[in-house]
Every structure is written in structure tokens, then in C-alpha cells.
Amino acid sequence: MRKFVLAPLCALVTVTVAACSPSGPEQTNPELAPRGTTMTKVKPTKQPLTTQISITGKVEMNPTFGLVAPVAGQVRFFDLPAPNGTPTKAIRVATVWKDGAPNYVEIPAGAVFAGRLVDDKSTVTAGMPLASAKHVGYALVGDVDGQQAYKISGALGEVKAQIKNGPGPFPCAVLGTIAALPQGTIPEKPEQTPDQKTTPDAKTPKTPDQQQPPQQPSSSTGLRIVCTAPADIKMINGASASIEVITGKSPEAMVVPVEAVAGQQGKGKVDVLQPDGSRKTVEVELGLTDGKVIEVKSGLTGTEELAVPGPNLPEPQGGDQNKPTGP
């Protein structure tokens, strides 16, 4: 009886073990593919491309914004009289001289001079903050982080805004997109015009009310975008808003997936697949990106096959410095 019971049981165990054994070549986990393995390949394509970023903002009264140099050169400031009211036209605040030609810097209408950010006769670069101005009235202000600053720098296009639970979307006219007053800056006091100057009676001592109060250092504004809404838009101080900034448009851009490129701004690198399957790293000039694809402005003809993922960053010398030590 025992032989007839045990024999089928052993046979069952043998068959079960055989069925569980792999019958083909050893399978590998795709997530553990060796570094540099080409997972797929892609060719550049052409398509319309629009890039934009979203900024969280709010309505502020009398916000400060920066004025930047239009070109590289030497800056010369004008002596500005104290305003008698809110200016209704642009005011020329400085000139940047380049190759003997003047390039004017103006405060837009509706804003007043708030202070110099560089010394007179300083040599400046294009886009460098020169002076600050203060908008009189309501405006939308959005804080810009470092990554967004590089995206909007020199590439500011259409701007729209939407006030939370309020009016919008509506076009928003940009006043500035740069840091205005560094912390601790004391704005220069504008000179008085002759009709504003008074000659106090020498026999009459000045009262405390006649003495000018000392100017207070400014607080830091950081990187920000300041824009104004149309006149018919009702604004409430402190109301939250969303600001959409279109940073660029291209009707027919040559694009590749962002995974095929090492780099996001200016210059980058791609791996071009050769007939024998090897990779050749090529430097390219990059343009617009929407986060999914990125424009290649030069370096490729458009007929190449690119490896995805793209080139790897070089390994740090001397091993990983951030590797934890200890047991």
C-alpha cells in the first residue's frame, strides 16, 4: 500500500519542479539595462511650437520694478526733478552710450523714479538693471524663480492674467521682469526745481515739520514680473492671480524629444546613431521647449537618427563625493 501511495506523490513533485523551471534564455529587467544602452531611436521632426510658463501672482499697490540697459556700454544718468504728480508720459532717466550713439532708458508713463542701481559712468552689459521705478496704482506682481528667470530672460512675449474669482483672462502690459531694488538700497532724492526751492528766513529757525525725513533703505524685491491690467479691469489689493507668459513662438521648429538631449538652454548635445550602431555625440544649439520636445536651431540637418536616451553626463572625478561613509 505504501508503494502505491508514495510513487504518484514523487512523480507529482518531479513534474511540478520541472514545470517551474525556465525553459528559454534568462530574462533581464529593462530597468537594469547597462548605462548607455539605446532603448529607442528617433528622427527630428518639424512642427509649430509655442512655449509658456505660469506664474503665481497677486494684485499690489505701487509695486517697484527695474529698468535694464538696452545695450552694452557706458551709462549716464539725467538729473530728474521731483515729480509734481503722476507722470502722464515717459520720462528719460539715463542714456547708455555705445560706439558714440545714445540708447535711452525711460520710465513708462504712470511710474516715478525710485533710485539708481549702478553708479554714473559705469560700464554695463545688455539687460543689466540700471535703475528702479515705482508704478503709481495697482499692478499684478508675480515672483519668478531661478529656472523661470532663464526661460523669460530676453524672450518675453504675450502676457495674460486671470484674477482668482475675478475678471480675466485679460492682456497684461509688462513694466519689468528683473530685480528692482536690492535690499538696503537708498533711493537717491530727486533734485528740486527752482520753483520748488524756498529760501527760509534766516531769522526764522526751522521747525521739525520743515525738516525732510530721512529716506529709508528699500526691502529686497527679488526676481519678479510686474504688469498692468486694462483700465476697465477692477483690481483689489492683495487678490491672488495667475500670470501666463508666452516666452516664444515658432511656426516651424525642428524638434526632438527632450529625452534625446543633454541640456535645456543655449547649447546641448545629442547622440547620432551611426550605420554600425555606434554613437557619435554632436553639439547642437537649442531653442524653445514645451517640456516634451525641444527645438534644435543648428547642429543637425534633420535626417539623422538620434539615440534615446541622449548622452550621459560625465562621471565625477574621484568617485561620488556625496556617497555616505560609515558602516
**How far apart are the C-alpha atoms of 30 and 39, rounded to whole Å?**
9
**For residues 198 and 133, which has the higher predicted lDDT (pLDDT)?**
133
Contact 259, 306 (CB under 8 A): no
Q: What is the C-alpha to C-alpha distance for residues 283 and 262, in angstroms, rounded to an integer?
A: 9
Instruction: Read off the pLDDT band of 129 (50, 70, 90).
Output: confident
Q: Does 169 sit behind a cis peptide bond, omega within 30 degrees of 0 on the bond before it? A: yes
In this structure, are residues 167 and 234 in contact, taking their beta carbons and an 8 Å threshold?
yes
Cell numbers 557706458 correspond to 74
**Side-chain half-sphere CA neighbours of 82 within 13 A:** 11
- Tell me how far apart the 2 most distant CA atoms of the chain are, in Å: 136
**Per-residue pLDDT tens over the stretch 217-258:** 444 456 788 999 999 999 999 999 999 988 788 889 999 999
For residue 294, give the nearest of 283, 286, 302, 305 by alpha carbon. 286
Pair 290, 51: CB distance under 8 Å:
yes
**Which domains does the chain show, CATH number per domain?**
40-49+251-308 (2.40.420.20), 51-185+217-247 (2.40.50.100)
39-62: per-residue pLDDT in tens? 788 999 999 998 888 889 999 999
69-90 confidence digits (pLDDT tens): 999 999 999 998 888 899 999 9
